[in-house]
Amino acid sequence: METEQVDEDATQVGMIYALAGLDDRSFNDAANRGIQRARLDYGISFSNHEPETRDDIAMLQKRLADSRLPNYDLLCCIGFVQEESLSDIASEYPEQRFMIVDGVVDAENVTSYVFSEHEGSFQAGHLAGELTSREIDLGTGATVPDQRTVGFVGGVENPLIERFEAGYRAGTNYADSDVTVRSSYLGSFSDIEGAYDTAKTMYDEGADIVYHAAGSAGLGVFQAAQASNRYAIGVDADQSRSNPQYADVILASMVKRVDNAVYSATSDIVETDFQGGSVVSLGLEANGVDLVYGISLEPAVPDEVAAALQQSRDDIVAGEITVPTEVEG
């Protein structure tokens, strides 16, 4: 699907989204917020392109790079799945400027933005580990019943999503080494039914809290949390705000400021300060990732738990806690 907001006299930006498409209330929508903010601040013009397959991605990258009406000043490639084809397209079109999120392309006409997902996921795991180790009534009719079992649901199993799991496991272990972490991968970022079934099984087997890194499929995790009277942790955006119907079960979300990456890259184009050939890394210290509490449940999180999370955050930034990027064992 393609939508355009074109002003021929303005800076032109082409947005090529990840496969889940817009209205995922997570990753792609965060990127869209970044380009919308750039439009408001700089008067840029942009077009949205939503590929349905990997082949679509390569085709769109090539077609937009070859376009002369409009002639794009920047192409934003959102998601790790764009990395392989962009490596070829960037060399084929050396005058075209690109940015990529969640991938690294070693080319002078590409700025690569990567995030320390493992650091933010450590915070998610720390929260889950602290709460599952206590019997806490969060005031919504559900409780965390001291089961000491939590879950992780990933989308496609690859090194990027495994960083989420690695950080989450490390955080739960930091909170309580006796916490059991169950994990499963869906093989998809859009399989809501599969996410529901997977999370429901985890809840049925004793998990109190399930964290997902599964894109739009994560809605199934929230549905399973409601059905099981348990809790969930969202990803990429504050999903208690983007999915208010599930705010009663979303403890927190591990946000990735994809919007800031898109906005920054667009701003650099407007200001003629394109950072081609560079890799911009965004972690807790740069506020590129963070854990934000759910809008309904934040007041119910015990003060001592919030204080413990703030301390571990400070220690990660200070280098006193090193968060793994790979699942151990």
Its pTM stands at 0.88
Domain 117-255+297-317, CATH 1.10.10.10 — does that match? no
Distance CA 276, CA 85 (A): 18
Q: Consecutive sets of 10 residues in the chain, 329 residues long: mean pLDDT of each? A: 64 95 90 97 97 94 93 97 96 97 97 97 97 72 69 96 98 96 96 98 95 95 96 95 95 96 97 94 94 94 96 98 92
| Same fold yes or no, 2-115+258-282 and 117-255+297-317 | yes
The domains of the chain are located at 2-115+258-282, 117-255+297-317
CATH superfamily ID and name for 2-115+258-282 = Response regulator (3.40.50.2300)
Bridge partner residues of 145 (DSSP): 135
Pairing state between β 143-145 and 135-137: antiparallel
pLDDT in tens, 300-323: 899 999 999 999 999 999 999 999
Distance CA 298, CA 132 (A): 16
